Structure 1
Amino acid sequence: THGAAGLGDALADVLGHRLDPTPGSAGGTEPRSLWTGPDRWLVVSEQLDRFALARRIREAGPCPTLVTDLTDGLPAIDLVGPRARELLAHGCPVVPADGQVARTLLALQPVTLLGEAHRMRLFTDRGLVPFLWDWLARHAPLAAA
């Protein structure tokens, strides 16, 4: 958005919450807005139609607001269980607390992590999924010990 004034207010009706400009914040429940950098959020939804959501954001946002649908290129891997954070800690310098977001590296690969009470959600480029999935499988025994 490059500092588009009023973006948080403009999207409140679409998202059901104001965008939180606090670094590492995660706002809302469905959809969620994940702070990924100054004036940048990743909006994720498990229920809403992606095309309709992108259109509604584009129409509601002040100019200039860039909206890009990353659905096909930024899959999520959910790590569930009491040792998910320990597993990530083997290859990641930052593991976010519940309700927090971190843009970081996992096994030297760029990821966005969302900490939730029941899971750690990892977003990464589609091309990195096989590598990270293999890394997670190889390191899972370390977290189970």
Structure 2
Amino acid sequence: MADPATTFSPIDLALVQVTVSRQSRGSVSSAIANELGIELPPTGRSASAGDLLILGLGPERWLVIAEKTDGWALEKRLMTLAAGNALVADQSDGRAVFALTGPSAQDVLALGCGLDLDASVFPAGACAGTDIAGIQAFLWRPKETAFRMAVPRSMAQSFAHWAETSLQAVLHRP
């Protein structure tokens, strides 16, 4: 039987997407590193400092995540740092974020996600854009037994239903 300590819950985070051109990457990266103390991570990796986390979503594209601020305030802060050299957009209202935590979290995700989530392939600090149960998601792994998923808010109820049903299926395996 799977460990009943595995939990699924919504979490409230500020999400801001930052997209830069190749020409302006250096100046934006330096401004963020100097002001926030975080280097922009490569695609598929994350970096954090304090209450900020940055996911490398793709070439010249990142998702900046904060726990203790609202998306609008974070967007304004990043726009100031980018000094007109990046497209900065608050995604907080457009995405719902969920936490799946515990020893069976990976088993639950395996029921709907085609990525290899083994810690040797998708370790703590990894992130990816993927489909989970047919729903587009940003997936990241803050620690070995924890995952976070940001899905379109319009699909949040369907995603939560899938995750809760899958969690129960895993927890009640013989």
Task: Please report the TM-score for the alignment, with normalisation by the length of structure 2.
Answer: 0.76
Hey, which of these two has a bigger chunk of strand by percent? Answer: 2
- Tell me how large the CA RMSD over aligned residues is: 1.6
Aligned equivalents of 2:134 and 2:71: distance in 1? 30
Q: Name structure 2 gaps, 5 residues minimum.
A: 1-19
Q: 2:123 aligns with which of 94, 97, 104?
A: 97
Deviation at 1:143, TM superposition (A): 2.2
Letter in 2 for 1:26: S
Task: Say if 2:166 is the partner of 1:139.
Answer: yes
Change (3 A) 1:73 1:14: farther
Letter in 2 for 1:112: F
Which is bigger in relative contact order (C-alpha 8 A, separation at least 6)? Answer: 2
Identity fraction in percent: 28
| Residue aligning to 1:25 | 45
Letter in 1 for 2:43: P
Q: Say if 2:95 and 2:150, in contact at 8 Å, map to a contact too.
A: yes
Task: Please show how residues 1-145 of structure 1 align to structure 2 within 5 Å.
Answer: 1-3=20-22, 4-6=24-26, 7-20=28-41, 22-29=42-49, 30-94=51-115, 95=117, 96-117=122-143, 118-144=145-171, 145=173
Task: Please report the TM-score for the alignment, with normalisation by the length of structure 1.
Answer: 0.90
Q: Name structure 1 gaps, 5 residues minimum.
A: none
Q: Say if 2:127 and 2:139, in contact at 8 Å, map to a contact too.
A: yes
| Residue aligning to 2:7 | none
Aligned equivalents of 2:166 and 2:134: distance in 1? 14
Residue correspondences, number = 144
